[in-house]
Amino acid sequence: MSTDLSHIRNFSIVAHIDHGKSTLADRLIQVCGGLTEREMSEQVLDNMDIEQERGITIKAQTVRLDYKAKNGEDYILNLIDTPGHVDFAYEVSRSLSACEGSLLVVDASQGVEAQTLANVYQAIDNDHEIATVLNKIDLPAAEPDRVKAQIEEVIGLDASGAVEISAKTGLGIEDVLEAIVHQLPPPKEGDPNKPLKALLVDSWYDAYLGVIVLVRVVDGKMKKGQTIRMIGTDAKYPVERVGVITPKLETVDELGPGEIGFITASIKEVADTRVGDTITEDKKPTESPFPGFKPAQPVVFCGLFPVDADDFEDLRAAVGKLRLNDASFSYEMESSAALGFGFRCGFLGLLHLEIIQERLEREFDLDLIATAPSVVYTLKLRDGSEMQLHNPADMPDVMKILEIHEPWIKATILTPDEYLGPILKLCQERRGIQTNLTYVGKRAMLEYELPLNEVVFDFYDRLKSISRGYASFDYQMHEYREGDLVKLAMLVNGEPVDALSMLVHRSAATNRGRVMCEKLKELIPKHMFKIPIQAAIGGNVIARETISALRKDVTAKCYGGDASRKRKLLDKQKAGKKKMRQFGKVEIPQTAFIEALKMGD
């Protein structure tokens, strides 16, 4: 039985981090009876431990709700809860393409933030109707009128009919459901008799069912026993199970046009299911597949190595399993003289890196060292070829390189007026180029172009500490530009340490080298001989520190007598130390690496 299209609503919730998307989703599930009181928990849809602890959504989640409206009609609501964080913008873009409308949730005390803008513009790009919801109306600091005016001024949406709610206490949830039914559109035309055409929205791995694929049916019907074909990968599978998520998985006979549900079809790996792919019937394929999405491009790279070299196989198994559930994470094997075997991994951003690292440590019980994050550079060589550089240690000889291009981003920063000065200074220090400065009420909205390698280091932490946490930051990739970049190598006792080498801008090299040397001087324990620590660009040493030698008092047994006896013993010791320095190996403890790589400015 297929439902009348006019009674289906597919919508997503977009908002800045912490404005209450997941809590609102909880209330909607509760009111529509998706779960009993006993099964209900806080943030039902955030089912990873990390999501619950950090209070953020990482994976977009879907749920189907049955709602009886005040006009007595029954509606099916398909809600997709999307992440608000900039690193997961990729998750947001594909979730939005499966919906026709969005609920824009804005915190009534905080107002519009950087990511509110980014996510709303994405929804508008997908031709969404947008219904505005003001959350946290029960807070003493809430100023609904000011925030409504701000929404109209900044985003240009009419906010006069915004629904005022408190997702925490459940106030006004019924009004949200009515707004969904009356303000958001039903799915566009879909014909159940046409060949099957469905959008692959998401996929994840389940230990019992294998790969579960979330689909949005546009034309035709999806039933158990059909043989389907993925147009992008040209693979065929028999459908084993068709169902809907109410957050529990419930099987149904078929999915018709406009519906969102899941299928399982003995697919081995999540990597076989490309998000944005078109699913059709093998015998009767559709003529017009979807345009698809650009695959997520990793932006930040870093090496992950096990602290104990024996754990390498465990790490290999663990990254393989994580890749099953997160197609935007990529990895390849690498080895380092200092750290042994590990993986060079690509991430969508720093939060993504932190989350993957935390999941590896927590879910697979591994102790890891992460090298300093770096970005992807494009090198133009003198022989006319181009190469991508992921790891500074692999950089070819300087004489072969014609130009180095680095990625730049467009950043939007929203900040209260009083922190504007220090933030401008921070962006200036990071080689930023200001493109715009406007005011949104009492807050300044800065638009900057910044080189990404200055941002991945600790820009976000600095921004938060300068603005006491009030500034919000959002960015998107812009372009590659030529930069005056040099490779900064760290030498300990004349030996280069590959794990600590990095690409930096020439203007910042001396400073960065000096800080690194001072830091290593504190971290490396003393040996029986002097150890020079140097930072070098090519053949030029730009900074140096020396760790003094441990001294044994060889003259202790001399008392009185001729001074030349003491001299002789000291010279002998000196010669021994010199010889030792030539052959001595400096042991750099693992802790020193970890500390040196956590470098703040």
Residue 303: C-alpha distances to residues 223, 318, 320, 392, 505 (Å): 44, 15, 15, 11, 21
CATH superfamily, domain at 197-281? Translation factors (2.40.30.10)
Q: Is position 136 annotated in a ligand binding site?
A: yes
Mean pLDDT of 507-533: 79
Q: Is position 417 annotated in a ligand binding site?
A: no
Q: Which two tokens stand for residue 361?
A: 């440590």
* Percent composition of the chain: helix, strand, coil (DSSP 3-state, to 5): 30, 35, 35
Q: Which two tokens stand for residue 150?
A: 């701000």
378-483 matches 5-183 in CATH topology? no
pLDDT, tens digit, 9 for 90 and up, residues 58-89: 455 678 888 887 877 888 888 876 665 555 55
Residue ranges of alpha helices (H) inside 155-229 are 173-183
Other CB atoms within a 10 A radius of the CB of residue 53 amount to: 11
The matching CATH number, chosen from 1.20.1530.20, 3.30.70.240, 3.40.50.300, 3.30.565.10, for 378-483 is: 3.30.70.240
Q: Which two tokens stand for residue 385?
A: 């070829």
Reduced 3-state DSSP string for 23-57 = HHHHHHHHHCCCCCCCCCCCCCCCCCHHHHHHCCC
Residue ranges of alpha helices (H) inside 437-499 are 452-466
Q: Is position 22 annotated in a ligand binding site?
A: yes
Q: Which of 173-177, 252-256, 284-288 has the lowest mean pLDDT?
A: 284-288
Mean pLDDT of 137-160: 82
Give the whole-angstrom CA distance, residue 276 versus residue 292: 4
What is the model's pLDDT at position 46? 45
Q: Is position 137 annotated in a ligand binding site?
A: yes
What is the model's pLDDT at position 91? 59
The residue whose two tokens read 């467009």 is 410
Give the whole-angstrom CA distance, residue 324 versus residue 528: 50
Q: Which two tokens stand for residue 133?
A: 């919801």
Residue 432: C-alpha distances to residues 278, 299, 319, 330, 450 (Å): 41, 18, 35, 29, 5
What is the model's pLDDT at position 240? 87
Question: What is the per-residue burial (b if ≥16 Cβ within 10 Å, else e) of 503-539?
Answer: bbbeebbeebbeebbebbeebbeebebebebbbbbee
Q: Of 303, 316, 294, whose CA–CA distance to 391 is shortest?
A: 303
Report DSSP letters for 105-134, one per residue: EEETTT---HHHHHHHHHHHHTT-EEEEEE
Q: Is position 219 annotated in a ligand binding site?
A: no
| Secondary-structure class of domain 5-183 per CATH | alpha beta
Other CB atoms within a 10 A radius of the CB of residue 292 amount to: 17
Give the whole-angstrom CA distance, residue 48 versus residue 439: 38
Strand partners, 289: none
What is the model's pLDDT at position 588? 65
The residue whose two tokens read 């099953």 is 324
For 300-365, CATH gives 3.30.70.870
Contact 104, 135 (CB under 8 A): no
Give the whole-angstrom CA distance, residue 254 versus residue 566: 96
Give the whole-angstrom CA distance, residue 529 versus residue 239: 70
Question: Does pLDDT of 224 surpass 60?
Answer: yes
What is the model's pLDDT at position 324? 65
Q: Which CATH architecture has domain 486-597?
A: 2-Layer Sandwich (3.30)
Q: Is position 23 annotated in a ligand binding site?
A: yes
- On the 0-12 / 13-18 / 19+ scale of CB atoms within 10 A, 294 is exposed
* Residue 219: pLDDT band with limits 50, 70, 90: confident
pLDDT, tens digit, 9 for 90 and up, residues 422-476: 888 888 888 888 888 888 767 788 888 888 877 776 677 777 778 776 777 777 7
Question: Does pLDDT of 273 surpass 80?
Answer: no
* Residue 55: pLDDT band with limits 50, 70, 90: very low
* Residue 279: pLDDT band with limits 50, 70, 90: confident
Domain positions in the chain are 5-183, 197-281, 300-365, 378-483, 486-597
Q: Of 361, 356, 335, 338, whose CA–CA distance to 346 is shortest?
A: 356
Question: Does pLDDT of 286 surpass 80?
Answer: no
Q: Of 260, 259, 261, whose CA–CA distance to 251 is shortest?
A: 261
Q: Of 127, 62, 48, whose CA–CA distance to 91 is shortest?
A: 62
Q: Which of 121-125, 129-133, 296-300 has the lowest mean pLDDT?
A: 296-300
pTM exceeding the 0.75 threshold for the entire prediction: no
